[in-house]
Amino acid sequence: MNTATLSNRYGQRIDATFHSAPNDAYLALLGHGITGNKDRPLVVGLAEELANLGIPSLRFSFAGNGKSQGRFEDCTITSQTEDLVDLLGHVSNTSRHIIYIGHSLGGAVGTLVAANEPNRIHTLVSLAGMVHTTAFFQREFGEQTPGDGFMWDEPACPLSQKAWDNAHEIHNTLDAAQRITQPWLLFHGTDDDVVPVSDSRDALAATASPRTDFYERPGEEHMFSKEAYPEIAKAIVNFLR
């Protein structure tokens, strides 16, 4: 796969890495969480584990994150949904079964897009997927001033008014979850103090999908441990079967 040609509707290049594997009937797209990028250990580790099990994958950074073009302060949940839709336009014109795997905020993005793209995202996987976006921004960044403060005190990750307002406008992804009809696999650590496990429980209760599985992983935190990567990959492959 030629990743050099991947871009969004605004002409911004989307940085991506392709992991080849024998079973080209499938393609997994891996989306990262807020302030993250395609090179986070969880994203890389899961792509490698899937390749070991025969499933090719494409891990990518949303515009404004990592080495993708764009400014971080222009990145919102809505802009990330646009990036994912545009990326699907590059890869879904094949006969491949597309699996979208989203971590944290990337999980919220996956829910919003999958609800509107049932013919282009065939299986949805959420890893510590965010559901309540307003509550998350209030909880994690409520002491910061939008337009002046930073996400988790990271100077490279300014908290923009645009991102703050967009998260509050979306509020949660439950309406989208009610329109999910694809098979949906959810994972969440019971010790997650960034996105509470109750978010995944709420998504599970809301979805219209006739096929869902939910794994609560005792003791796991938001980023999941390295030991969890192969278990998550195996569960995804078994779910596809």
- Express each pLDDT in 176-234 by its tens digit: 999 999 999 999 999 999 999 999 999 999 998 999 999 999 999 999 999 999 999 99
Q: Is the pTM of this model over 0.95?
A: yes
Q: Is the pLDDT of residue 89 over 80?
A: yes
Write the DSSP assignment of 170-184 as a string of letters. Answer: H--SHHHHTT--S-E
To which H or E segment does residue 30 belong? strand 26-31
CA–CA separation, 208 and 40 (whole Å):
31
User: Quick one: pLDDT band at residue 241, thresholds 50, 70, 90?
Assistant: confident
Residue 86's pLDDT is what? 97
CA–CA separation, 116 and 197 (whole Å):
25
Per residue in 151-176, is it b (16+ CB within 10 Å) or e — as a string? beeeeebbbbebbbebbeebebbeeb
Q: What is the mean pLDDT of residues 25-51?
A: 98
CA–CA separation, 175 and 116 (whole Å):
11
> Which pLDDT tens digit goes with each residue over 95-143?
799 999 999 999 999 999 999 999 999 999 999 999 999 999 999 999 9
Residue 23's pLDDT is what? 94
Residue 170's pLDDT is what? 98
Selected residue with higher pLDDT from 237 and 93: 237
User: Quick one: pLDDT band at residue 1, thresholds 50, 70, 90?
Assistant: confident
Residue 92's pLDDT is what? 76
Q: What is the mean pLDDT of residues 152-176?
A: 97
Measured over the CA atoms of residue 169, residue 173, residue 174 and residue 177, the dihedral's sign is positive
Q: What is the mean pLDDT of residues 47-70?
A: 98
Q: Are 111 and 178 in contact (CB under 8 A)?
A: no
Q: Are 104 and 143 in contact (CB under 8 A)?
A: no
Cα separation values, 77 from 24, 44, 49, 64, 188, Å: 30, 22, 28, 12, 20
Q: Write the CB contacts of 191 (distance below 8 Å, at least 6 apart in sequence).
A: 219, 220, 221
Query: How much is the mean pLDDT over the chain?
Result: 96
Domains and CATH numbers, the chain: 3-240 (3.40.50.1820)
Q: Is the pLDDT of residue 9 over 90?
A: yes
C-alpha 71 chain-centroid distance? 19
Per residue in 119-136, is it b (16+ CB within 10 Å) or e — as a string? ebbbbbbbbbbbbbbebb
